[in-house]
Chain A
């Protein structure tokens, strides 16, 4: 697609429920990243996929968080047993590994845990 697409744009869930957030990167981009941004805060790295390499999961805050990327394209970030502190905007970005032009971000998913 022309840009990075994320869905849903907003998600309200009850504490303890599982949620799945989806990211569809720019076609041809081999690298995909997940960040989250809490209110008034900077961007916190979560996980990074590069081609067929093992993902860099060093930013995942707990084992309740997981992500997969199928077919080198679409990625799903799953949060199990959501907690109120998980409330944030989850941003996905993609980039081409051939050029260091930074990322293109999607519009994000605003997650609210009540």
Chain B
């Protein structure tokens, strides 16, 4: 079992729709959770972090964490073609240290 699992996609949504990206992790001791966006040929950039169960909203992005189910998700509302990228889920066991990444989900937002 991989430490962090994501559906590789591609996930295709129409412009204006909600894109839902999911991630599960195996280490029940994980404490910090991150979503990175990676455009083709570019390095990953941090878009969301979440540490407590529940929802965290930032603009069009909402991260959701359920530690009991070992599940973290990212919702993108009003999806735009510029959101088309690979979204990487990352998990950290402590408050700082090594991040373990999932394989990433390719998101395509079509006009």
Q: Which residues of A contact B (CB under 8 A)?
A: 31, 33, 35, 41-43, 45, 48, 50, 56, 59, 91, 95-97, 99-108
The 10 closest A-B pairs by CB, nearest first: A42-B103, A105-B43, A43-B101, A100-B95, A102-B46, A102-B34, A100-B32, A97-B96, A42-B101, A48-B98
Interface size on B, residues (CB 8 A): 23
| Distance from B1 Cβ to chain A, minimum over Cβ atoms (Å) | 15
- Residue of B with least CB distance to A98: B96
B97 interface neighbour in A43, A50, A99, Cβ under 8 Å: A50
Q: Which of B32, B42, B95, B101 has most A Cβ within 10 Å?
A: B101
Question: Which residues 43-80 of B sit at the A interface, judged by CB distance below 8 A?
Answer: 43-46, 49, 51
Tell me if B92 counts as interface (CB < 8 A to partner A). yes
Q: How far is the CA of A50 from the CA of B94 in the complex (A)?
A: 13
B98 interface neighbour in A33, A41, A99, A101, Cβ under 8 Å: A33
